[in-house]
Amino acid sequence: MHPRSSTLLASLALAAAAWSLSPGIAVSQTAPAAVAHPIPQSLRLEHEDTAERLGRLAKRPGEVGVEARKALELFRRHAAREEEYIMPPLTLLPLLADGKVTPDMEWAVAMSDRVRADREVIFQEHTQVTDVLNRLVVAAIRAHDKDATDFAQAAATDSLNDLEVLEPTVLLIGDYLRAKLPAAH
């Protein structure tokens, strides 16, 4: 699992800068239509890496394997939610930072609204993730499994990063688009 803090903090700063410059930003009508809503490639790679590492830990014998399997199940559920509607709006950050807002970005407003509505549910999912990662760390320490310990610590840090940076950024994107997109809002 790779630290993503610096990337997202930079993105947040860009979004904030775009917000502060908003009076001068024209709404463009020429950007290509978004037909699908992927997530940023860096986050896709992180998800793949996490799933791969957890999958390996899940095959270990004993408690490390037991807890890793529980963590993998939770991770898959949480990653599916992130990929469905939490992370896709983040793909817009480079455009927003360049001052470009187009009507076809409206899909991100709906996703951002859904994140806001589900915030407590998402938080509770994070508590479950932290809980299982704590159990994985305890099992890993008992088994002298440094790989598993390091993974769990990094994953817990990423979980906090989601709450501190990623999800607020998505909400900020939604608010920004709502303010900049014409009439419908």
Partner 1 sequence: MSGPLSRAAVVFSLLTAMPGIAHAGDPAAGKSVFQSTCSICHSVQPGQNKIGPTLFGVVGRKTGSVPGYTYSPPNTAANLTWDAATLDKYLEAPRAMIPGTKMTYGGQKDAAKRADLIAYLATLK
Residue span binding partner 1 (CB under 8 A) among the ranges 49-57, 62-70, 80-88, 157-165: 157-165
Asked if 123 interacts with partner 1 (CB under 8 A), we say yes
Alpha carbon of 135 to those of 37, 52, 67, 156: distances in Å? Answer: 35, 19, 7, 12
Q: CB of 88: closest distance to partner 1 in angstroms?
A: 23
Name which of 126, 131, 124, 85 is nearest 108 in CA terms: 85
Q: Is 13 near partner 1 (CB under 8 A)?
A: no
- d(CA 48, CA 57) in angstroms, rounded, equals 14
Among 88, 135, 145, 174, the residue binding partner 1 under the rule CB under 8 A is 135
- Segment contacting partner 1 by CB under 8 A, of 10-18, 26-34, 68-76, 130-138: 130-138
Q: Would you count residue 22 as binding partner 1 (CB under 8 A)?
A: no
What does the alpha-carbon distance between residue 155 and residue 147 come to, in Å, rounded to a whole number? 12
Of the pair 28, 130, the CB lying nearest partner 1 is at 130
Q: Does 5 bind partner 1 (CB under 8 A)?
A: no
Is 53 a binder of partner 1 (CB under 8 A)? no
- Among the listed ranges 32-40, 57-65, 74-82, 156-164, the one in contact with partner 1 (CB under 8 A) is 156-164
Tell me: does residue 164 bind partner 1 (CB under 8 A).
yes
Distance of alpha carbon 184 from alpha carbon 28, whole angstroms: 16
Based on CB atoms, which residue is closest to partner 1, 160 or 179? Answer: 160
| Residue with smaller CB distance to partner 1, 96 or 139 | 139
List residues near partner 1 by CB under 8 A. 123-124, 126-131, 133-135, 137-138, 152-153, 156-157, 159-160, 163-164
